[in-house]
Structure 1
Amino acid sequence: MIRVLVCDDHQIVRQGIKQILADADDIGWAGEAANGPDAIAQVRRGGIDVLLLDIAMPQRDGLDVLKQLKAEFPKLPVLMLSTYPDRQYAVRSLKLGASGYLNKSADSEQMIDAIRTVARGRLFITPSVAEQLAGAVGAGRGADDELPLHERLSHREYQVFRLLATGHSVGEIAEQLALAPNTVSTYRARILDKTGVRNDVELALYAVRHQLLT
């Protein structure tokens, strides 16, 4: 029996996944969490074979939670769930140790297949994610200039980048990410330098042009 923990801040999503898993004889419901810290606490208590982890959550986003969990439990299969297009987070999730990336628009059969696949210790990669991964690997083999500018951002820089691009102030970002405002300002300066833009307006236009925002 594959024991699955689902972490998503929307109760209706958690309940929907629970109904999907109920149809699989080899998959059991191990619990649910509405935020990252709760998910980490439940994993630490044990009895979890696979974690379904949403990316967009309050307090700490899914990628932050993934990074911590893979440091503590490197063998735990984590399947990332998201409403974002694959090009935004799939490759970043896999680089941080996720066993797979699944869009919430996937059908129930694909979700069941994904859980079974990662539970066996294998990667679950859809054709769309495979295309993104191949592109990232291909770019990595060439000169650094071939990489899209935003791909040079670290995980934390990319978090700040998206928040700046959606109109959040330095103070708001500092509060949301539990960082000092000066630290956020430092990240902002690095982001502007790496993407070659001059201000937050140009940064937002860059994000729209590269289809990095929903």
Structure 2
Amino acid sequence: MIIKTFLADDHRLFRDGLRRILAETTDIVVVGEATDGLDALKKMRLGGWDVGLLDVSMPGMNGLEVLQRIMDDDPKHRILMLSTYHEDEYAIRAIRAGTSAYLTKNSPTDLLISVIRRLAHGGRYIDPKLAEKLLFDLGPSSTMPRHSALSNRELDVLKLIAVGISLTEISQKLKLSAKTISTYRARVLEKMGMQNNAQLIRYVAEHKLLE
């Protein structure tokens, strides 16, 4: 089986290096590239790839936003997020948005190749230390803030509600149907254990999520 990969990263040196690494394998090929998030989204929606490699930080539209749009199209897509960030929050948000794996850019080459192959065959990968954090920190006794349980899209909706935008305006801004936005709002309320927009607005202000 030949694994077709798509690379999206705004640093040419990194893309060139990654392409050379994958060229040394017998079963992984690069079939497309993008230098920013908007270009990545446009090209990836054309299909023809098995595993997408997305940089978390890209101009135009960041990798997490691209991931969300791609997973909205088809949750079966296999995406590997690559990042220079070591903060667990980025990895957790990527996982909640639907990524199949998350690696930092200083990960060993053999691990990168192994993860790509695992994803192509329907598997997933999560760093053992991060898995432990998810197990213990996000459990019922978690001390993490409530909004940590939200997906990227749910967090977007929460922030827009907090600035007083109507659901209709939010749907237009995010280019999603009003019904979908209503569903996201319901999920936000449920996950955060709240009853109405006033409580959401107060929470956002108290936690300074708009700063």
Letter of the 1:98 counterpart: T
Letter of the 2:6 counterpart: L
Q: What is residue 143 of structure 2 aligned with on the other side?
A: 146
Distance 2:148 2:98 in 1: 17
> How big is the shift at 1:21?
0.5
Distance 2:4 2:41 in 1: 15
Pair 92,136 (structure 1): closer, same or farther in 2 beyond 3 Å = farther
> How big is the shift at 1:89?
1.0
> How big is the shift at 1:134?
1.6
Q: What is residue 207 of structure 1 aligned with on the other side?
A: none
Per-residue deviation, residues 47-90 of structure 1 (Å, max 9, x unmatched): 10100001111111111110110111221100001111141211
> How big is the shift at 1:16?
1.0
Letter of the 1:109 counterpart: D
Q: What is residue 178 of structure 2 aligned with on the other side?
A: none
Q: Summarize the alignment of residues 123-142 of structure 1 with structure 2, pairs less than 5 Å apart.
A: 123-138=124-139, 142=140
Per-residue deviation, residues 81-122 of structure 1 (Å, max 9, x unmatched): 111114121111111110000100101111101101111111
Pair 101,154 (structure 1): closer, same or farther in 2 beyond 3 Å = closer
Q: What is residue 196 of structure 1 aligned with on the other side?
A: 206
Say what the alpha-carbon RMSD is for the aligned residues: 3.1
Q: Counterpart of 1:146 in 2: which secondary structure?
A: coil
Unaligned runs of 5+ in 2: 157-172, 174-199
More deviation in 64-73 or 38-47?
38-47
Q: What is residue 83 of structure 1 aligned with on the other side?
A: 84
Unaligned runs of 5+ in 1: 160-178, 180-189, 204-214
Q: Counterpart of 2:45 in 1: which secondary structure?
A: helix
Letter of the 1:151 counterpart: S
Letter of the 2:52 counterpart: L
Distance 1:6 1:106 in 2: 16
Q: What is residue 36 of structure 2 aligned with on the other side?
A: 35
Per-residue deviation, residues 166-211 of structure 1 (Å, max 9, x unmatched): xxxxxxxxxxxxx7xxxxxxxxxx68834735799xx7xxxxxxxx
Query: Is the Cα contact below 8 Å between 1:150 and 1:194 reproduced in 2?
Result: no
Distance 1:133 1:41 in 2: 32
Pair 197,20 (structure 1): closer, same or farther in 2 beyond 3 Å = same
Q: Counterpart of 2:52 in 1: which secondary structure?
A: strand
Does residue 3 in structure 1 map to residue 13 in structure 2?
Answer: no
- Identity among equivalent positions (%) equals 39
Per-residue deviation, residues 9-36 of structure 1 (Å, max 9, x unmatched): 1111111110110111110111210112
Query: Is the Cα contact below 8 Å between 2:45 and 2:70 reproduced in 1?
Result: no
User: TM-score, normalised to structure 1's length?
Assistant: 0.69
Q: What is residue 56 of structure 1 aligned with on the other side?
A: 57
Number of residue pairs the alignment of both structures matches:
173
Pair 137,16 (structure 1): closer, same or farther in 2 beyond 3 Å = same
Pair 71,154 (structure 1): closer, same or farther in 2 beyond 3 Å = closer
Query: Is the Cα contact below 8 Å between 2:7 and 2:53 reproduced in 1?
Result: yes
More deviation in 48-57 or 191-200?
191-200
